[in-house]
Structure 1
Amino acid sequence: MSRTQLDVRAELGEAPLRPFHWFLTGLVVLATLFDGYDTFIPSYMIGFVEEPWHLSSGQAGFLMSSGLIGFAVGSLTHGIVADRLGRRPTLIAGLLIAGVFSVLTGALAHSFTTFVILRVLTGLGLGVLLPLGTAYINEYLPDRVHNRMAVIGGTGFGLGGVLAALLGIAVAGPDTWNPLYYIGGGALVLGLVYLVVFPESVEYAVAHGRHQEAAKLLSRVRPDRAELYRSAELTVPARPEGHDWRLIFSSTYRGRTLALWATAFLLLFNVYGLSTWTPRLMMQRGEGFATGYTFGAVLQGMSIAGAILGGFVADRRLGARRSLMLWCGLGSGAALVVAFTDTTASNMIAVGGAGMFIIGGQFLLNNVCAGTYPVQARGTGEGLMLGIGRVGGILGPYIGGALIDAFGGTAPLFVVVASAAALAIISASFVTTRRQRTGLPTATPGQVPAV
């Protein structure tokens, strides 16, 4: 007698929202929090090492973006590892690597060269956390709330940025910036805890023949069907032609892949350019030290609101792709307001808008990417997109410093940011499926819509 066949994607997509979903989302929030925190703490120590280390504005920008070299390598390579060895061990390894080298940065980085080397090594671990966390949580969430819940998982990145700003203001000084990196070592502790509590992806487990493990995890998502899962034959959608990294370059996905890469490059250029230079530029406009760095906290804090609101709009109204395009347009307008107005109130409102729509838009892009590829290429696709995007992240702080050196003033950076956000609208418009282009439905029941 043949066993009942169950498509695990349909089972997960049709599930009610349960505490186990919130538990998994919380685990991703904590992991991505360390990504955001460790990414942005250099912004709060640059002012204290710029003179002792004899840095130009361009070098100061590179001090911020140097870690993104490691981020790019980690993002580009981890997806292949995660698609082959599993989401769980890859994410835990990222936490452990990031934690170890963050502590070593605090202890040993006493010059520009040693700092850059240690930041690159830290980035190898940090580059895993956001793309893999996003791909992972998208594989568990019910269809009706997957955009909202997935962006909540990614908001750990913004929370980490807020934490970096608050601790930067409270702790950082000429001789006291090192503890910021010791705090980043908490990623090591979290990685050890995740060895016990972090479960594997159900879809990955089924795709690799680990059916008993998958049945237990599905039973935590839908306890009422636990008996059925123990006896059924669990399946994932048939693998399309090609696999792993080759799949994203197939004729079906190639155009979307390139559009995703371009959008990630433009948005991460903006994210890191804004995060690095906004506090410094606000101080150039006459704001005090604490107020200047408060702009950094507002930028990151509003990104959380933007991500959550964007997820709601995506689920209820526009879909993730069109919501992303709207957010890029609003973010471009906010950056122009910052460029051409100069009061504390207008600066604070417009900087908050830039954080809400530009950085918040990056979270929506992560969801668009995760929904574009099937399970066997999802980690690879997300990682390659963010790896290419990190190149934009590297250039953002560096070009920001170069603009300051070349033109002076505070407006040019924000004009460039507004232009990049406008270009991202165009690139995001190409992340469409063949069905969307012909006006047919984009998803069948039980599937996460691609965009």
Structure 2
Amino acid sequence: MSRPQPIDAIEELRTARFGGFHLILVVSIMLAMIFDGYDTLNAAYVIHYTVKPWGLSHASTGLMVSSGLIGFLIGALAHGPVADRIGRRPVLLGALFGSGFLSLLTASLANAFGPFILLRFLTGIFLGVIMPLGTAYINEFAPARSANRVVAFAVGGLSLGGLFAALVGIYVTPHWGWHSLYWIGAAPLLLGALLFPLLPESVQYQVMRERHDDVARTLGKINPTRSYTGERFVRPRERASTAEMIGTVVGSRYRRTSIALWVCAFMILFCIYGLSGWLPSVMESRGNGFAASFSFLAIMQLAGIVGGVAVAFVCDRRRGDLARGLVVLMIVAAVAVVVVGVSTGAAVQLVFTGFAGFGIIGGQSVLDTLSAQTYPAHLRSTGTGMMFGVGRVGGILGPYLIGWLLDWTHGATSVVFVVMVVATSVAAITAVALVSFRRGISTMDRKDEYDGTLDDGRPGRLSADRH
């Protein structure tokens, strides 16, 4: 009796129908993203309460936001190879527990500029893991027919978190002080405990480790009408070294696309964190009240959710390239920033701040999905981690550079909008190039994580120069 042919587990994931398993997974990752977005942006609401008591310059104020993003950079760069080696589930849960614990320490101990900067840096290391790893994680399990929407909804949690931070900043901090932001920010400790029994390990990782029974159980939850008990799954190639995986991401096959993704990530995160750190202060200096100034940031975050989901929905329905959607979003953002910068009417400023968020934050959601779909599964954590690492450099520079420019121009707020227009324009031009570059990556490149054996019968192995 011949042995049954092994099953392609990734193909099973791609062709599955969206069901209860996927819904639980999307909600779980969205909750993780909400607290990532919340803790990333809440420093902007601390500035209002600490600038005068701590005697801060504009540049030092920018560092209050940038310090956490320096930690983000380390987390984004370091987590990919670790997750590819030990699994995505333990790394993601560890990031939730670590960020929640450090938020508790911030609420308890950060009573001066130095301790605040140090604790934000340490918290950022854990927060830097959640967005890229969560994106790669949900993209692996998402059915192909709804992948863009599924990932967009999950990643939309980042903007919901930013909106949540704005609401806490507006309505809670006036009564309970800025430390309340970080008492609330400890909630990932509870979330990690809740998700511990719910999150499955990556199917790709399980197949790599030849854990066929675990793969069968996971696929059985996704497709309850079929039994996978006793099945064998397509044998993965040997694991490449970290150097080989990085070499593949920057190798000839992916080099141009990777660089374009990095430039877009740099510019988009520069804008997001630059505006998130300074928009309330800039709007307050232009004559708006405390609550109204913080509302601009809330509107920006809310519109960003709409932007990412809308583009993903259109691309899923029309089978379009998300890179084209990114071009549109960046053009919308550039025009909106110009209008906000030159307008003096509060209503016009508020509406076009929403359009800016629609383009910039929506663009981030689209970029997250683009990155995860560009690289094959065995490179996904490394590829997305590298992109987010470069993007975090932009995020670090955004708040600090704007603060430095405000010091240099003696508080001329117009400089903020000039810098944002330049950044969104560069992102738009790069996104146009990205449309062309992605055509060079074939469908087989994105599915080659299971190549069985080579022509001579030996187990396949990923080579840095193969792609």
Q: Does 1:303 align with 2:304?
A: yes
Q: How does 1:18-417 map onto structure 2 within 5 Å?
A: 18-173=19-174, 176-225=177-226, 227=227, 229-235=228-234, 243-317=244-318, 318-407=320-409, 408-417=411-420
The answer to whether the Cα contact below 8 Å between 2:95 and 2:129 also exists between their aligned partners in 1 is yes
2: CA distance, partners of 1:122 / 1:359: 22
* Cα deviations by residue, 1:332-379 (Å, 9 ceiling, x for unpaired): 111111111121111111100111111110010011110111111101
* Cα deviations by residue, 1:269-314 (Å, 9 ceiling, x for unpaired): 0010111111111112211111111111111111111111021122
1: CA distance, partners of 2:70 / 2:446: 38
Letter in 2 for 1:180: L
Change (3 A) 1:40 1:434: closer
The answer to whether the Cα contact below 8 Å between 1:96 and 1:188 also exists between their aligned partners in 2 is yes
After TM superposition, give the deviation of residue 409 of structure 1 in Å.
Answer: 3.3
Letter in 2 for 1:221: I
1: CA distance, partners of 2:437 / 2:281: 45
After TM superposition, give the deviation of residue 434 of structure 1 in Å.
Answer: 6.9
Q: TM-score, normalised by structure 1?
A: 0.94
The answer to whether the Cα contact below 8 Å between 1:203 and 1:236 also exists between their aligned partners in 2 is no
2: CA distance, partners of 1:29 / 1:138: 13
The answer to whether the Cα contact below 8 Å between 1:260 and 1:369 also exists between their aligned partners in 2 is yes
2: CA distance, partners of 1:115 / 1:435: 42
Letter in 1 for 2:24: F
The answer to whether the Cα contact below 8 Å between 1:321 and 1:368 also exists between their aligned partners in 2 is yes
After TM superposition, give the deviation of residue 416 of structure 1 in Å.
Answer: 1.4
Aligned residues: CA RMSD: 2.1
Q: Percent identity?
A: 42
The answer to whether the Cα contact below 8 Å between 2:210 and 2:235 also exists between their aligned partners in 1 is no
Change (3 A) 1:107 1:241: closer
List gaps (5 residues or longer) in structure 2.
Answer: 449-467
Larger deviation, residues 310-319 vs 412-421 = 310-319
Larger deviation, residues 250-259 vs 328-337 = 250-259
List gaps (5 residues or longer) in structure 1.
Answer: none
The answer to whether the Cα contact below 8 Å between 1:45 and 1:173 also exists between their aligned partners in 2 is no
After TM superposition, give the deviation of residue 323 of structure 1 in Å.
Answer: 0.9
Change (3 A) 1:271 1:137: same
Larger deviation, residues 242-251 vs 276-285 = 242-251
- Counterpart of 1:15 in structure 2 is 16
* Cα deviations by residue, 1:75-102 (Å, 9 ceiling, x for unpaired): 0000111111001000001001101111
Letter in 2 for 1:235: V
After TM superposition, give the deviation of residue 246 of structure 1 in Å.
Answer: 2.9
* Cα deviations by residue, 1:17-54 (Å, 9 ceiling, x for unpaired): 11211110001001111111111111111011101111
Query: What's the secondary structure of 2:233's corresponding residue?
Result: strand
After TM superposition, give the deviation of residue 402 of structure 1 in Å.
Answer: 2.1
Aligned residues: 443
2: CA distance, partners of 1:132 / 1:224: 30
The answer to whether the Cα contact below 8 Å between 1:131 and 1:386 also exists between their aligned partners in 2 is yes
The answer to whether the Cα contact below 8 Å between 1:58 and 1:402 also exists between their aligned partners in 2 is yes
